[in-house]
Amino acid sequence: MKKLIIVLVFISTVISAQNLVDKKNTKEHYTPYKTSWYLGVGGTYPRYMTISSPLIANHRNYGLNLALGYNITEHIGFRLFGHLVSLENYYNDHSNEVYNRVNMATLNFDIVYTLLACDYLTPYFDAGVGYAIFKSDNPYLENGRGELRRDPQGWWDGYQFKFGGGLEYRMFNDLSVIAEVNYITASNNKIDGNDTRNEVKGILQSNGDSYMAADLGIRWYFSRGDTSLICNAGGIKEVEVIKEVPVEKIVKDTVVIEKIVENGVRNKEAFVLDNIRFKFDQDKLTEESKLILDRVASVLKRFPDEKIEILGHTDNIGDDLYNLDLSKRRAISVKNYLIAKGVNGENLYTAGCGERKPIASNETPAGRAINRRIEFSIYDGKTNGCTEFETPSDRNGAQLEKAIQNNDQFVLEGVFFKHDSDKITGDSENILLRVVDVLKKHPDVNIEIHGYTNNLGDEAYNKDLSLRRAISVKNFLVAHGINANRLSTFGHGEENPIADNNTAYGRARNRRIEFKITDGNYEGTSINNNVNYNDEINTNTEDSELSPEAKKMEKALLNSDGFVLNNLHFVFDKDILVEKSKLILVDVTKVLKKHPNIKIRIEGHTDNIGSDDYNQYLSIMRANAVKKYLIEHGISKYRLTTKGFGESSPIADNSTEKGRAQNRRIEFKVVK
């Protein structure tokens, strides 16, 4: 009967483990490693097993276990597993009950199979063979006539066979708790002190002594191999291919890279250079990345007194603490490379945030690629790095509390939407739930929710999209208990960029939600800051006197000649108009309003510094910026079109600074 119960328990364990396999959550999983070494230590409770013998097992048993293991895959491993145990029992000597205690040391070589490599709690099974040496207090041997006699030797040894299973709970990345039960049967019948030949013991019903050992302990993984990819949904994770940037493109974009770095240092603004990449799951720089960092080093050496912080970021694939460590190691790799290129190491500081500061949704490959980045900023004595226990939810909660105290405005980090949609992504909900908690603590505080986009796509569409996204955030907060009368929503589209729209990093930062603390009660209003562009705003500028420059523009337009503005300037390497240039566009606006039937094509041009594709993109973005200004000041969008020519239509020699300045221009052409 006992044997049947043990077999049933074993079968139930296997079935339960299979159920765990079917039900495991692939989203919140443990990140295993391809190989690993570990040490284990713990306590042991051993106890004899007997089915038909004169042995009476006792419960006053104790022991210690030690293990050294090596996992050759995510599921299969080997280990040396040792025990120091002490067991007691009673046996009959011609109707006399004899007490016996044995002290024993064992060493086994086991093979271990882990079922759920991706779960924090996983069952495993083991089997092995080993060696045992022991000594009993009252050992007896049976002689050839069936009589028992005192054992003259005392110390015995032999081999043993074992099998069993257990549970591993992975509390931390390198530390686990282990609970394990094994059945052991020995090659001889002397461990319990009674060498009677007709004993039947254990599950195998052999004459060899049998016992069970229940182990409880901890396991420390002191060495790891590469991170495994098997835990992605559907089996092996699809590796996101890193598209290397052609060397010739990096060489051609050298000036652009240096200008971005110099602009960031001079203006004390954080900047990210696209295409600083690393080998997959490593902190080793790619060769293309080294070429980019060569240009970074050349600029930083021109600012020897500036202190720079290098901040590493990752996506959310893998273990959180592992990603935090990886981001720190990648930042250190960048620092070491810059030092090797002559940058003063004393002025370089490093930190990592892992997956704690995403600027795009981690639900898409494109978003994850943006989040894997190296960020440079001016170090002012306070690091931008993340602590081990800091979460995006905590950080946003603290920022909201501070904004409430100061009646201020801030960017809500980590709130993202599906591509070209107002649907909030799943990885944003924890952020908004933290906002709910803070707002419930401050029931008298009202919030303006401001939505923004980047500048890709139609301007009117972007304004509408930004408003819809702000409304989605409001609806989420209302659904979780925040009074709608406390919330108002605004859509700004691509207005007020906080980063460069010419880079993926900049566009990701510009797609954002901002909160502004206010005392007003809006009764749930939604405001789109669009002008009604179907009819031009009548500001009576027709009657305003035109400046001499405006009269020249008017004459050119009436003659269908068009005109060139070389003095229309933008922020370096951006599509943002400088303030002085807006004064020039005031004249353009007056002329166009005086002649409402003239339609204009706004053409953007650049010099030949940088790549063809980049200059083409920059020229159309600058033309769009001029169009945007004119629309905002009352010119119908239906009268305006834009086109970018990049460096393809120079009007002066690009080999001189004067010539390049002439080639950087905006042209206005009459469309007939």
Cβ within 8 Å of residue 120, ≥6 positions away: 29, 30, 169, 170
**Domain boundaries, position 344:** 242-390
pLDDT at 4: 41
- Using CA atoms, how far apart are residues 415 and 360, in angstroms rounded to an integer? 8
pLDDT at 534: 34
Helix (H) or strand (E) holding 149: strand 148-150
Of the three residues 530, 555, 577, the one that is the final residue of a domain is 530
Tell me: do 174 and 263 sit in the same domain: no
Q: Is residue 599 part of a domain?
A: yes
Tell me: do 556 and 525 sit in the same domain: no
Angle at which helices 287-300 and 254-266 pack, to 10 degrees? 50
Render pLDDT for 306-340 as a digit per residue (tens, 0 to 9): 999 999 999 888 777 888 889 999 999 999 999 99
Nearest CA-CA partner of 87 in 245, 209, 221, 257:
209
Neighbours of 451 (CB within 10 A): 28
Tokens of 428: 């944003």
Tokens of 360: 């795009």
- According to DSSP, the residues that pair with 102 across neighbouring strands are 87, 136
Tell me: do 564 and 637 sit in the same domain: yes
Sign of CA dihedral 398, 404, 406, 410: positive
Tell me: do 72 and 204 sit in the same domain: yes
Kindly report the pTM of this predicted structure.
0.46
Strands 308-313 and 348-354: parallel
Tokens of 265: 């240092």
- Using CA atoms, how far apart are residues 373 and 331, in angstroms rounded to an integer? 10
Q: Is residue 234 part of a domain?
A: no
Q: Is residue 400 part of a domain?
A: no
Tell me: do 99 and 125 sit in the same domain: yes
Q: Is residue 193 part of a domain?
A: yes
pLDDT at 118: 82
Tell me: do 218 and 290 sit in the same domain: no
Tell me: do 259 and 213 sit in the same domain: no
pLDDT at 113: 95
CATH at 60: 2.40.160.20
Tell me: do 64 and 199 sit in the same domain: yes
Give mean pLDDT in consecutive 10-residue pieces for the chain, a chain of 672 residues. 43 44 44 88 87 61 95 93 89 70 93 90 94 83 53 74 94 89 86 67 66 94 76 41 48 71 86 83 87 91 92 85 88 94 92 87 83 89 75 78 84 85 84 89 90 86 90 92 90 87 83 83 45 35 63 83 80 79 85 87 88 82 89 85 88 85 88 76
Three-class DSSP category at 270: coil
Q: Is residue 399 part of a domain?
A: no
Q: Is residue 413 part of a domain?
A: yes
Q: Is residue 309 part of a domain?
A: yes
Q: Is residue 236 part of a domain?
A: no
Helix (H) or strand (E) holding 313: strand 308-313
Tell me: do 261 and 213 sit in the same domain: no
Tell me: do 165 and 217 sit in the same domain: yes
pLDDT at 72: 92
CATH at 347: 3.30.1330.60
pLDDT at 234: 35
Residue that has been written with the tokens 């099998």 in this structure: 163
Tell me: do 219 and 263 sit in the same domain: no
- Using CA atoms, how far apart are residues 53 and 64, in angstroms rounded to an integer? 27
CB 57 within 8 A of CB 47: yes
pLDDT at 244: 47
Of the three residues 356, 390, 424, the one that is the final residue of a domain is 390
Of the three residues 507, 530, 553, the one that is the final residue of a domain is 530
In total, how many domains does the chain have? 4
Tell me: do 559 and 453 sit in the same domain: no
